[in-house]
A and B are shown apart, each in its own frame.
Chain A
Amino acid sequence: QVQLVESGGDLVKPGGSLRLSCAASGFTFSDYYMTWIRQAPGKGLEWISYISTGGSTLYYADSVKGRFTISRDNAKNSLFLQMNSLRAEDAAVYYCARGNWNDVRLLDYWGQGTLVTVSS
């Protein structure tokens, strides 16, 4: 069955960096667009970034553009999010989710999330 397992969440100081990972299994990872979504405590969902199947197409929300970098390793069935210059407002649960073969118009599987805390 399809599984997405995020890891890498931690407590980090403002201005610090963190790298999140998402391990995928149960499907042909390289056939799907992948995305990161976050949810601040008590708040709604916010789309962060997505990446195409081969990794050549990348999109970011304005709130993270220039600070976060999405990438993937299809050989290792893994999705990544490098987060730099972290701010208090980046504190959230970060979810990876699966799109479809051509875009992220629908997200049919989600991981359980990994918590990022930004505090001095």
Chain B
Amino acid sequence: QSALTQPASVSGSPGQSITISCTGTSSDVGAYYFVSWYQQHPGKAPKLMIYEVSNRPSGVPNRFSGSKSGNTASLTISGLQAEDEADYYCSSYTRSSTLVFGGGTKLTVL
């Protein structure tokens, strides 16, 4: 049950686009289209932003999008806004019927 690999930090200026990668294995990210992304502001609970690789729950801005290629999933945020500054976590359902998270990425909006 090794954690998925995410960059520790990314940054971008308002209006720009950023992409956060999430690399796993053929037993998790590569196995199914069951990758989710969560946003967490300091002191708050995580919030679901993307599920099943590329689907957005109701209320999540369409500036947030997801994709997957092989064992790597990606979250792209376009038109960065100040309120997007947060920690982002990917997760994947696994072939072992367990759940695994990435180590988290701190997004800084410059």
Contact = CB atoms under 8 A, between A and B. Distances in A.
Contacts, number: 62
Nearest to B40: A45
Given A44-B89, A45-B38, A113-B45, A103 B97 contact: yes
Contacts of B38: 45, 107
Contact of A45 (B44, B57, B89): B89
B3 A106 contact: no
Q: Interface of chain A, helix or strand or loop or mixed?
A: loop
Interface residues of B, number: 26
A80 interface: no
13 contacts: A44-B89, A44-B104, A45-B101, A95-B45, A97-B46, A104-B99, A105-B36, A106-B51, A107-B36, A107-B91, A108-B48, A108-B57, A112-B45
Name the 5 nearest CB pairs between A and B, nearest first.
A106-B51, A105-B34, A44-B104, A47-B99, A110-B45
Interface of B: 1, 3, 32, 34, 36, 38, 40, 44-48, 51-52, 57, 89, 91, 93, 97-104
A35 B99 contact: yes
Interface of A: 35, 37, 44-47, 50, 59, 61-63, 95, 97, 103-108, 110-113
A59 B97 contact: yes
B1 A104 contact: no
